[in-house]
Amino acid sequence: MKRALLAMSFFTGCLLLWQAIFSAKIWSPVLVPSPIAVGEYFVTASRDGTLFNAAAVTLRRLLVGYFAGLFLGLPLGLLTARFKIFEDTFGLLALGFQTLPSVCWAPLALLWFGQTEGAMLFVVIMGTVWSVLIATDNGVHAVPPIYIRAARTMGSRGLHTWIKVILPASFPFIVSGMKQGWAFAWRSLMAAEIYVTILTGKGLGFLLHYGREFHAMDQVIGIILVIILIGLLADKILFSPCEKFLHRRWGTAKQ
């Protein structure tokens, strides 16, 4: 309860500071709209369905691309952690691609797939798979060696050690990597929706780009707040509880 009140006080203070900056007229209202103007945009966009439709389109693309990235990244990460040849090939490739900004995939996706949903999916997968691969590899290597030695002392070998010891012990780190992959998927999708305009659905990135083009800063700030809110909800509802449970389960929780 105390933490909730502290958080509410902090965000209320941020809101009051925003209003004070607007009232001081340091910048033009076109550049820095008031909280009331942003709130009015939320009401209008919610009533006509624009905001909810865009959020639904974006979340659909995000989930499809994210789970496709997990489907590729998790097994590749395990193979990279297990076999030296994968570490020297896919591991190095992942490190290189991880440093590449997500927006760099958008022109390539346009040339390969055109103005299609495939272009969106490609950008999201490329933004997800490499971070998940690296996190999975690091998670496996973070397993204390004493666990493996103890398992081998009791007769565990090969695949049995991986399934019964290494994988369960690395789950907390893998989930952290999945959360990181979710963040990269978000960034990749926003880059794709800004640069790739398709008729099958206009997502939050399109609304963000549309607001910038027409200097509708209330819309730009409103969409940014929606993106932040969805990210926070995903973390608090899905990833954080799972991380805490796994860390408690395996005795790696911070005291």
Residue-level pLDDT at 97: 85
CB 250 within 8 A of CB 168: yes
Q: Does residue 38 form part of some domain?
A: yes
Residue-level pLDDT at 68: 92
Q: What's the domain count of the chain?
A: 1
With the C-alpha atoms ordered 242, 245, 249, 250, is the resulting torsion angle positive or negative?
positive
Q: What does the pLDDT look like over 157-191, one tens digit per residue?
A: 777 777 777 777 778 778 878 888 888 888 888 88
If pLDDT is split at 50, 70 and 90, which confidence band does 199 have?
low
Most confident of 21-25, 67-71, 105-109, 180-184: 67-71
Q: Does residue 28 form part of some domain?
A: no
Q: Mind spelling out the 3-state secondary structure of 111-164?
A: HHHCCCHHHHHHHHHHHHHHHHHHHHHHHHHCCCHHHHHHHHHCCCCHHHHHHH
Q: Does residue 91 form part of some domain?
A: yes
Within 8 A by CB and 6+ apart from 209, the residues are 193, 194
Which amino acid, residue 228? I
- Domain limits for position 232: 34-249
* Cα–Cα distance measured from residue 38 to residue 64, given in angstroms and rounded to the nearest whole number: 30
Q: Which of 34, 188, 171, 182 is nearest to 103 (CA)?
A: 188
Within 8 A by CB and 6+ apart from 4, the residues are none
Residue-level pLDDT at 247: 67
Q: Does residue 25 form part of some domain?
A: no
CB 106 within 8 A of CB 123: yes
CB 57 within 8 A of CB 201: yes
Q: What does the pLDDT look like over 48-100, one tens digit per residue?
A: 888 888 889 889 989 999 999 999 988 888 888 888 888 888 888 888 888 88
Q: Does residue 205 form part of some domain?
A: yes
* CATH code, domain carrying 245: 1.10.3720.10
Q: Does residue 241 form part of some domain?
A: yes
* Cα–Cα distance measured from residue 122 to residue 104, given in angstroms and rounded to the nearest whole number: 12
Tell me how crowded residue 177 is: count the other CB atoms within 10 A of its CB.
Answer: 24
Residue-averaged pLDDT of the chain: 82
If pLDDT is split at 50, 70 and 90, which confidence band does 108 have?
confident
Q: Does residue 15 form part of some domain?
A: no
Round the CA-based radius of gyration of the chain to a whole number and report it.
22
If pLDDT is split at 50, 70 and 90, which confidence band does 146 have?
confident
Within 8 A by CB and 6+ apart from 195, the residues are 103, 106, 107, 110
**Tokens found for residue 12:** 């209320």
Q: Does residue 108 form part of some domain?
A: yes
Task: Specify the range with the lowest mean pLDDT, choosing from 7-16, 29-38, 183-192, 197-206.
Answer: 197-206
- CA 225, distance to chain mean position in Å, is 15
The residue ranking higher by pLDDT, 172 or 128, is 128
Q: Is the pLDDT of residue 245 over 60?
A: yes
Altogether, the residues listed in the chain come to a count of: 255
Q: What does the pLDDT look like over 203-232, one tens digit per residue?
A: 888 888 888 877 888 888 889 899 888 888
Which residue spans within the chain are E strands per DSSP? Answer: none
Please give the share of the chain, as a percent, with pLDDT higher than 70.
95
